[in-house]
Amino acid sequence: MKKIGLIYSFNTNKTSQAAKKIGEQLGNAVVHVNVENITEKEFLKYDNMILGVATWFDGELPNYWDEFVPAIEDMKLKGKTVAIFGNGNQKGYPENFVDGIGILGKLLESRGARLVGFTSAKEYTFESSQALRGDEFCGLALDFENEASKVNGKIKKWAEQLKKEFD
Amino acid sequence: MRIREMEIPKRYHIKKTDKETLSQWFYLMVLGRALDDRAPNYLKQAIGWSYHAPYAGHDGIQLAIGRNFDRKTDHLFPYYRDLLTCISAGMSAEEIICNGISKDNDVAGGGRHMSNHFAKPEWNINNVSSCTGNHTLHAAGVARAMKRYKHKGVAISSHGESSVSEGYVYEAINGASNEQLPVIFVFQDNGYGISVPKADQTANRKVANNFSGLKNLRIIHCNGKDVFDSMNAITEAKEWSLKNQKPCIVQANCVRIHSHSNSDRHELYRDDMELNYVSEYDPLAKYRRMLLRYNRFTEKELQAIEEKAKQEVKEAHKKAMAAPDPTSNSIFDFVVPEPYNSVKYPDGTHKLDGPKKKMIEAINETLKDEFRHNPDTFIWGQDIANKEKGGIFNVSKGMQQEFGIERVFNAPIAEDFIMGTANGMTRFNKKIRVVVEGAEFADYFWPAMEQFVETSHDYWRSKGQFSPNVTVRLASGGYIGGGLYHSQTIEGALSTFPGVRIVYPSFADDAAGLLRTSMRSEGFTMFMEPKALYNSPIAATPVPDDFEVPFGKARIRREGMDLSVITYGNTSHMCLQAAEKLSLEHGFDIEVIDLRSLVPLDKETILNSVKKTGKVLIVHEDKVFSGFGAELSAIITEEAFEYLDGPVRRIGSTFTPVGFNRILEKATLPSLEKIEEGMRKLLNY
């Protein structure tokens, strides 16, 4: 398997926890990259990427991702395979559950990237999500607040899925 | 495409927007923040700015509102947190500080209004209330005028997201949706109404979506912390609203970095984690990082801009500190504007003889006559115009047929909307005169009281820069078997507010004359109509076609030497009948004064009469307890005590509601018998 850039903010709590667990599942192929001071060059180094993104406020990207968006908008991402995971809170913020996954996913696709790692949305209860594609999320939705006990199992299953879906 | 799904074009972008524009924005943002950060120092030094609601965290959306506002075509209604909005709209640092420390040259209104309520009426940056979202109704009103006059502009109403909990905000948005008015309602959403979180306001975090069922309304959500997203959202909202002549809501997600205001302590209800993440998402810091990250500016260039802003604040501070304070005797300036001056009827009397007109005819004909005289007149209210129906009592009958639906139209059953949009519409220009039926009955005017209070404040608060030129007609009083909610007469309560005239005619000619004066005057007038007299022959009189009655001129309807009876409205006729009866039966010589105008009050006529007779009976339909007669009694006691030969007595309603059963109504309201008895007692004192 090619190297996988696992890109997220190191200055986070739950996203970092999830990233570490994903990294453990995927082994040596993974390189942890801090998005907070990422450059275009660093980002484009990886053909396989896993992006960690939380949803802030009422459905926004965290500022560390948001400030990188103008750079992504000019990138050519054809040939890149990207999987996205993100934390959400079904009960507290059901109007914009894991919107961050959807916003980032749409942007990357528009630049030519191939999204992988879709998961079923059926077992979640929420009102609206920009990550929704039919009855699937275009990434892995984790809900530490309301179903912490399921997080490990979901990550394990997702990592197995990614092993098959990454080039 | 459905309007809810329309994309927002990315007109502004960190990589594409020209450097000069980016530089201007940065300068305005730094200048605004320097003022916002400096404001608490004025309080610490006991100079002023004792109310300060910091805007830090709302920077993106406030910059965008101000940059999109065009003072030549638009109206802006900023709220008490809109410092950067006003700076971005063009106000200077000196103007901001002069408002903050309440100087006489504060362009909002010379230090009359609370600090941090920035305004510049000269530029259509309106001076608004502290009642959150109350100006939404004014925005809808001025947008209605823009539409009527085919003017290309928008009204921008800015407020916090908690304002949507107020019923009148719903009324404004519903009205703008129904009438398809070019209003942009901006909800600056920082998640709190002082300390009350959004979850305690409404179930929907995206509070704008509470309005998603309304037609003709576009809803845009944006990141109010982000300059580009906010600029794109407001620019699109304005363009769309102008082009489609429809309203738009922009909900801008912000953070409140500081407490609600200097009287709030947010550490009492926000934990460290929250305080940390809101300050981490400082919109100004984010914009600065973006300018550097994408190589639009060097650090040195940004520092130079920051230094320039700092200098401007320093200089503005010096000038503001040297500016004069308002003088104490100026408080009596700009309470009410000078009224129309009647040259032909200076004392409001006439000698016309001939056929009599009923009060309803007199009001109807005067309204029509004034609508012919002034093409900038408008009337609306509940039931005001639907085919042959013209008002609940048909007072405005035939007006829509003659003047059209653009000038004479129905209003929704929303009294505050009726009143608030009247206030708002007259902001468009000084020629406009609005008449509203404030409610179906005076009893239903209470929901409009917040706009009544607002309208009574505007002229004074803006130091004479804005006068709401509105006449509110209210069908008032009892004697119709109407019970608790169709019998009230509310002038006693209304007269406690400075800034409003209150007139209450008893006869057809005075109704016509006072209405004409009111519709030709600048200012706010309550025109109380005793509905029991609309069709009564006793109130019918000859009415000169051009009759005018000045404000503050009472009319002595019956002269006498033994007793002064001071009255108005329904009871004027009872007093005249009782006086006549006592004259015929016992030879008493009783003077009856019909006040006609309560505010301003004709003290001269009252005191001259008291000096002549030495005895006073005050009669009105409103309750004796705290009724308007209490004020009259106090004035007479204070200013003519030495002329009195007996106690000043009052007759009015009992301190109870008006019961529906006729026996109950009779027991409550004043009557000929009660008045006659009151007169006898005083005459025999």
Q: What is the mean pLDDT of residues B111-132?
A: 97
With beta carbons less than 8 A apart as the criterion, state whether B115 and B82 touch: no
- Contact B205/A at CB under 8 A: yes
**Other residues' Cβ atoms within 10 Å of the Cβ of residue B271:** 8
Chain A CB contacts of B286 under 8 Å are 63, 67
At residue B466's C-alpha, the angle toward residues B463 and B469, to 5°, is 130
From CA A77, how far away is CA A71, in angstroms rounded? 12
Quote the mean pLDDT of chain A. 96
Residue A83, domain CATH: 3.40.50.360
SS3 A24: helix
- In the structure, what pLDDT confidence band is assigned to residue B263 with cuts at 50, 70 and 90? confident
B476 close to B490: Cβ distance less than 8 angstroms: yes
| pLDDT score, position A120 | 97
B260 among known catalytic residues: no
CB contacts, 8 Å: B206 with chain A = 58, 95-96
Question: A37: nearest CA in chain B?
Answer: B293
When scoring B14, B189, B223 by the number of chain A Cβ atoms within 10 A, the one with the most, hence best to mutate, is B223
Please list the alpha-helical segments (H only) found in B19-166. 19-44, 59-68, 83-88, 93-100, 136-148
The 3-state secondary structure of B186-236 reads: EEEECCEECCEEHHHCCCCCCHHHHHCCCCCCEEEEEECCCHHHHHHHHHH
B 600-629 residues inside an 8 A Cβ radius of A: none
For residue A1, is pLDDT > 90? no
Q: Which distant-in-sequence residues (6+ apart) come within 8 Å of B154 by Cβ?
A: B73, B74, B75, B143, B146, B182, B183, B184, B238, B241, B242
Q: Does B453 touch chain A (CB under 8 A)?
A: no
Domain boundaries, chain B: 49-260+314-321, 359-539, 555-683
Q: At what angle do helices B136-148 and B167-179 cross, to 10 degrees?
A: 20
Q: Which residue has the tokens 């009976």?
A: B617
- Report the number of distinct structural domains present in chain A: 1
CA distance B557 to A120: 86
CA distance A6 to B554: 86
* Residue B2 confidence (pLDDT): 73
Cβ-nearest to B206 among A58, A70, A71: A58
Average pLDDT in the B254-275 region?
91
Q: Do A70 and B290 touch (CB under 8 A)?
A: yes
pLDDT tops 70 at residue B1: no
pTM, to two decimals: 0.96
Superfamily name and number for B359-539: Thiamin diphosphate (ThDP)-binding fold, Pyr/PP domains (3.40.50.970)
Please write the tens of the pLDDT for every residue from B181-217: 999 999 999 999 999 999 999 999 999 999 999 999 9
Residue of B nearest to A13 (CA): B273
Closest CA to B301 of B16, B30, B11, B33: B30
Residue B6: the pLDDT is 87
Provide residues of A within 8 Å CB-CB of chain B.
56-60, 63, 66-67, 70-71, 74, 93, 95-96
Report CB contact under 8 Å: A70, B286.
no
Residue type, A40: E
Tokens 């993106």 correspond to: B60
Give B624's DSSP letter.
S
- For residue A2, what pLDDT band results from cuts at 50, 70 and 90? confident
Per-residue pLDDT tens digits for B445-466: 999 999 999 999 999 999 999 9
Which residue of chain A comes nearest to B252, CA vs CA? A58
The pLDDT tens digits of the residues spanning A26-69 come to 999 999 999 998 999 999 999 999 999 999 999 999 999 999 99
Cβ–Cβ below 8 Å for A60 and B253:
yes
Residue B277 is predicted with a pLDDT of 86
Find the farthest-apart pair of alpha carbons in chain B and give their distance in angstroms, rounded.
Answer: 100
Give the residue on B whose Cα is nearest the Cα of A66: B226
Task: For residue B290, give how far its alpha carbon lies from the nearest alpha carbon of chain A (Å).
Answer: 7
Chain A residue numbers touching B15 (CB-CB < 8 A): 70, 74
For B555-683, CATH gives 3.40.50.920
Q: Are B106 and B99 in contact (CB under 8 A)?
A: yes
Whether chain A has a CB inside 8 Å of the CB on B8: the answer is: no
CATH superfamily of B49-260+314-321: Thiamin diphosphate (ThDP)-binding fold, Pyr/PP domains (3.40.50.970)
**ipTM at complex level:** 0.95
Evaluate if residue A121 carries a pLDDT over 70.
Answer: yes
Here the tokens at position B149 are 């006059």
Give the residue on B whose Cα is nearest the Cα of A73. Answer: B15
Q: Do A70 and B15 touch (CB under 8 A)?
A: yes
Please, what sign has the CA dihedral across residues B573, B577, B580, B586? Answer: negative
One of B159, B221, B457, B486 is an active-site residue; which one? B486
The residue range of the domain holding A17 is 4-165
Which of the residues B255, B281, B295 would you substitute to probe the A interface, choosing the one with the greatest number of A C-beta atoms within 10 Å?
Answer: B281
**In the prediction, which pLDDT does B194 show?**
92
pLDDT score at B598: 98
Distance from the A48 Cα atom to the nearest Cα atom in chain B, whole angstroms: 25
| Structure tokens that stand for A19 in this block | 């990233």
Tokens 């005050």 sit at which residue? B618
